[in-house]
Amino acid sequence: MSDNSAPAPHKRRPRYSGKNPRRFEDKYKEHNPGRYAETVEKVLASGKTPAGTHRPIMVTEILELLAPKPGELAVDCTLGYGGHAQEILARLAPGGKLLGLDTDPIELPKTEARLRALGFGPEIFTAHRSNFAGLPQVLADIFSHSDLPGRAGSLLPAACSNPIDGAHGVPRPTGADIILADLGVSSMQIDDPARGFSVKFDGPLDMRMNPQRGQPASALLAKINPATLATLLVEYADEPHAAALAPALAGKTFASTKSLASAIRAVLPRLNKDDCDLSIRRVFQALRIAVNDEFSALDTFLRNLSACLNPGGRVAILTFHSGEDRRVKKSFGAGFNAGIFSDIAREVLRPSPAERNSNPRSAPAKLRWARRAA
């Protein structure tokens, strides 16, 4: 009779071949920074971002502009890896709170767990599955449930906001004191081949921030006509070769990121490698914006922004291409002229040379800010 109680033989984890793994899934040391801190430090020292992580951009500048204080209500509209949120949270205690919004169902639970492990409990931090365009509804839900000490009541429409507190005879806050929006794609999304945001690794041509909603980029390309695609490439990415690329890509089936990149190269054989790679990135950018309807969401966010800020409240927005920055600049300018904002950024702020050198992904970033009139 066989002995079924014998323990199963130990199996070693499969190791990647070679010294430096190329596949995202093989970079287990970078995915476990607590255990392999030395490896992570080497990656950071080389000016790269460790796999599965994200390096927050312009943290010092954002903290200086937003100036978070104990007892304030802050909102990180694009929580991502939680780098900005972690620094803001440390300045809100005692009595303050941060709401973290993110539409990504894959990354949001990881970031919530990461911030909980750092000691930020539900009394100071809550995570919300929402696009930043849903900020008014998130605030409405928070206030209606009396979730904030001393701030009971519902978020009312702009025409009747700040109702009088009967006990004290003063306007009652119904918005946030601090709002931050980092409109860039996180490194976790870019680096994961399964998300399809980058041609760096081969993967499905998806690009959805929320893979549970909408259509992937492959479906968009299969259905779109050349004229519409050409318009998207120009308006969403300033692509100079849109007229040549659109007929070759529209209505075609591309199952993977690599197959789309190859098709783009085939259309532009006379370009040198760097210029061709730049066109590839612009095409990917335009498709990502279209798939996630990013400009529509940004327009909605900007339209409702002032009503979501308490008097004297501060907002900072990081953008990563001209289409986003133009919208933010125009909205802040209009708000200042109308007396809604008491002050705004006169010039766009950029990452320092030192930050661009240590974190090349910060190079396109542009920071603008505004302060709600008191």
pLDDT in tens, 6-21: 666 666 655 555 555 5
User: What pLDDT was estimated at residue 165?
Assistant: 42
Looking up tokens 């300018």 gives: 333
Choosing from 293, 310, 328, the residue where a domain stops is 293
Return the residue matching tokens 């206030």. Answer: 143
Question: Does position 39 have pLDDT exceeding 90, yes or no?
Answer: no
Range of the structural domain that residue 255 is part of: 193-293
Please give the sequence-ordered ranges of beta strands (E in DSSP) within 148-303, or none if there are none: 164-165, 170-171, 176-182
Say what the pLDDT of residue 205 is. Answer: 95
Return the higher-pLDDT residue of 163 and 353: 353
CATH number at residue 272: 1.10.150.170
C-alpha 45/C-alpha 28 separation (Å) is: 18
The verdict on 253 and 326 lying in the same domain is no
**Does some domain include residue 15?**
no
**16-25, 116-125, 181-190, 261-270: the lowest-pLDDT one:** 16-25
Please give the DSSP secondary-structure letter assigned to residue 135.
H
Does any domain span residue 159? yes
Q: Flag whether pLDDT at 173 surpasses 70.
A: no
| Domains of the chain: total | 2
CATH number at residue 307: 3.40.50.150
Residues 178 and 203 reside in one and the same domain:
no
Under 8 Å between Cβ of 372 and 311: yes
Domain match, 135 and 272 both: no
Domain boundary among the residues 249, 269, 293 is at 293
Question: pLDDT tens across 325-335, in order?
Answer: 999 999 999 99
Shared-domain flag, residues 247 and 286:
yes
| Residue at 38 is within a domain | no
Give domain status of residue 69, yes or no: yes
Indicate whether 80 and 165 sit together in one domain: yes
Please state, in angstroms and rounded to a whole number, the distance separating the CA atoms of residues 59 and 162: 31
Place of tokens 């992570």: 40
Residue 158: inside a domain: yes
If asked whether residues 155 and 96 sit together in one domain, one would say yes
* Radius of gyration over every alpha carbon of the chain, rounded to an integer in angstroms: 23
Between 200 and 281, the higher pLDDT residue: 281
Please check whether residues 261 and 304 belong to one and the same domain.
Answer: no
- Rounded Cα distance between 182 and 61, Å, is 13
Asked which of 274, 293, 312 is the last residue of a domain, the reply is 293
Q: Is residue 49 part of a domain?
A: no
pLDDT tens digits, one per residue of 53-92:
668 999 999 999 999 999 999 999 999 999 999 999 999 9
Q: Per mean pLDDT, which range of 47-51, 144-148, 249-253 is the poorest?
A: 47-51
* The predicted structure's pLDDT at residue 186: 72
Are both 257 and 335 inside the same structural domain?
no
- List pLDDT tens digits, range 89-102: 999 999 999 999 99
CA dist 87 and 78 (Å) reads 14
At 184, the pLDDT band (50, 70, 90 cuts) reads confident
The pLDDT value recorded for residue 53 is 62
Residue 42 lies in a domain: no
| Same domain, yes or no: 233 and 103 | no
Arithmetic mean of pLDDT, 14-29:
52
**Structural domain includes residue 263:** yes
| DSSP characters over 249-277 | HTT----BHHHHHHHHHHH-TTS-HHHHH
- In 10 A of CB 126, how many CB atoms? 17
Q: What is the pTM of this model?
A: 0.79
What share of the chain has pLDDT > 70, as a percent? 78
Same domain, 279 and 306: no
Same domain, 170 and 306: yes
Cα dist. 186→198, 316, 339, 361 in Å? Answer: 12, 17, 34, 10
Residue 367 and residue 307 in one domain: yes
